[in-house]
Amino acid sequence: MTPHELKKLLQSKGLEIYRTTAEEVILADRVRDNLLMDSGVAVRVAPLAIRLIVRAQSSVFPGEDADRLFTRVRATAQAAFAAGFSETQTKVVAILDPGDRSRTLDTAHELWLERSVSSLDALEPEVRAALALSKTAT
């Protein structure tokens, strides 16, 4: 299956797409009717898997170091771990000012998780379950 075919399948199931890459289809989250955002959930084409990103932003927890922020992120991800997701990597991502790319507004500490999906028939309910998981440490 190609990413384009996977995108069409997910759309036919009523899911909104944020972006499609050569390896995956990133699902959308609509926080308001006119605002479409990356949901932190994507479906990888081969092998078929769901990718989930859980994050904590430094500005929400002033003064905490990266180790403490990743501890918070892992605590937030407990439901994902219970649902069979495994940690694949961590990233520290600068959130840049869109008006001045030389200025950093915040820093996100991201935990990337993944879960294999056994079949296309199992995909939709598992994607919907992933979309419902908490993805931001508060």
Rounded to an integer, what distance in angstroms lies between the CA atom of residue 77 and that of residue 27? 19
pTM for the full predicted model: 0.92
pLDDT in tens, 10-39: 999 999 999 999 999 999 987 777 777 888
Inform me whether the pLDDT recorded for 137 exceeds 90: yes
pLDDT in tens, 82-124: 999 999 999 999 999 999 999 999 999 999 999 999 999 999 9
What angle, 0 to 180 degrees and rounded to 10, lies between the N-to-C axes of helices 120-132 and 3-12? Answer: 70
56-81 average pLDDT score: 97
Q: Which residue has the tokens 């092998």?
A: 47
Q: Where are the domains of the chain?
A: 3-132
Q: What is the CA radius of gyration of the chain?
A: 16
For the stretch 55-73, what's the b/e string if a residue is b when 16 or more beta carbons lie within 10 angstroms of its beta carbon? bbbbeeeeeeeeeebbebb
Residue range 3-132, CATH number: 3.30.1460
